[in-house]
Structure 1
């Protein structure tokens, strides 16, 4: 099923003397960027979470936050006095250096300091880390399932929007082809006039070069190739939407090809109405590209 890169899931739990809140948030990204904010004293937790996410996601900037606290006041959470001493010493040095340079720093609160990584520790000997980690992983797997379900729901909506936009592209391409066929006699007359002007000034001109110039004039007036390529891109887009797995990068490249053909159609049109259709195509393609940015 098609997936968006946007999603959110959260869960709460408690076990083994702890309570926790877990959140997973995702937005679009060029690759898979996992950012985890976890207690650093639970051995192997971060490695395992990264492994599980990487096995199910291909793209997106994904942030996982785990808030873990002890139940009641059982004293399991400890202030690391050694770490506190190091932090306070560093803060004093920073403030001194800032004053020497004429800089003013905002005051730090106790809450700021205690929230620093490694400031609060837990005595591992008093905790069954294996059991706690297993409980956290169970909740994490449930949250990931909810997260992916939301991405799939968003992805289905994206696919519906893109299919509607592809139908609009098809319609504009059909109108462009009809207009190009209708203006063919007029374009032929323009070409004959241009040919006459070239022949009038062709004395002494190399015949091969003359043939080349005439071919260039004809090509510049013909938009058949652009129309055919636009239709091919529409077909390729529909095939991509039906594929399994990650298609976002391929789709983004295809949008560049769409835009290139629309630009060429406008530059070769030689007709106000055909130019208007080409500009409408460009606007629609830009709208499609905005949607494609969120496709995994």
Structure 2
């Protein structure tokens, strides 16, 4: 079943005195691009988190937001000495720019990552547990995201199938109209010659037949109509196929549009031209919907 590239999911886990929240949203993108917004100390888990996302999603831009809040239980804050030294060094460098003053203790304590939990200190054996918790929480958020993508994908597939039915109806009408084009041209051409001929020129049936045959060859759209029918069937199969199908749909829509344009350039018939215009309008709507399919 087709999946939309638009969705949202969230989850929360209590772990080691923290409430860790996960939010995942996805939008259209040509490839699978995963972006993270999370505390810096979790940067070491980014690769495993990225693999968790890519195991569930094949295409789209996915923004992952992970935050933590202390529950005030079983947590003991300690100084992150490396970060404090970095901030003090930066303050000393600012003096060289003519900026006066020294940061106070309250200034330093209010800076990001100055205070950390004991469980977050480098070298702790709990790193693996944190990694497993983060991947599990992200996977739970992805469940909600995938449910939304699946529901939206079903609506997109239903809409595109209805438009394919309309295109199929127009194609069937073109198939029935195509054989009459040459016959109508023959009748119109004979009537025009009869009006223009003042009797001074003899009517040559052979030349007349050759002209009609050339028109029939130039205006023949049988191959285009057959290919359109094949493309419709392939689109229906893709809409019910598992896995990413958006790029294949985009290619088929381009091919269908090319066939319709060819029919429009060949068809010397008002009704056929009108059907071409209707087809192009439906194909544009399908293209807009397919742009959101994974």
Q: Residues of 1 paired with 2:171 and 2:140: CA distance?
A: 46
Structure 2 spans left out of the alignment, 5+ residues: 100-106, 193-200, 202-209
Give TM-score scaled by structure 2 length.
0.77
* Aligned-pair CA distance for 1:244: 2.1
3-state SS of 1:35 partner: strand
Q: Residues of 1 paired with 2:94 and 2:213: CA distance?
A: 75
Aligned to 2:63: 63
Are residues 16 and 265 of structure 1, via their aligned partners in 2, closer, same or farther at CA, if it must alter by over 3 Å?
Answer: same
Equivalences, count: 265
Aligned to 1:277: 275
Q: Check the 8 A contact 1:83/1:119 in 2, yes or no.
A: no
Q: Deviations over 1:198-257 (max 9, x none)?
A: xx9xxxxxxxxxx9x997643321222222121111011112223222111111000100
2:224 pairs with one of 202, 223, 226:
226
Q: Deviations over 1:99-146 (max 9, x none)?
A: xxxxxxxxxxx8xx946xx77765335783333333222222211122
Q: Check the 8 A contact 1:170/1:231 in 2, yes or no.
A: yes
Q: Deviations over 1:53-105 (max 9, x none)?
A: 11222111111110123333842575822333466678899999xxxxxxxxx
Aligned to 1:243: 241
Q: CA RMSD in A?
A: 3.5
Tell me which structure has the larger Cα radius of gyration.
2
Q: Residues of 2 paired with 1:240 and 1:130: CA distance?
A: 41
Are residues 287 and 240 of structure 1, via their aligned partners in 2, closer, same or farther at CA, if it must alter by over 3 Å?
Answer: same
Aligned to 2:122: 124
Aligned to 1:170: 168
Structure 1 spans left out of the alignment, 5+ residues: 97-109, 195-199, 201-210
Aligned to 1:27: 27
Q: Residues of 2 paired with 1:95 and 1:152: CA distance?
A: 58
Are residues 188 and 127 of structure 1, via their aligned partners in 2, closer, same or farther at CA, if it must alter by over 3 Å?
Answer: same
* Aligned-pair CA distance for 1:282: 0.3
* 1:54-203 matches, cutoff 5 A: 54-72=54-72, 74-76=76-78, 78=80, 80-85=83-88, 114=111, 122-124=120-122, 128-189=126-187
Give TM-score scaled by structure 1 length.
0.76
* Aligned-pair CA distance for 1:279: 0.7
Q: Check the 8 A contact 2:10/2:140 in 1, yes or no.
A: no
Are residues 247 and 126 of structure 1, via their aligned partners in 2, closer, same or farther at CA, if it must alter by over 3 Å?
Answer: closer
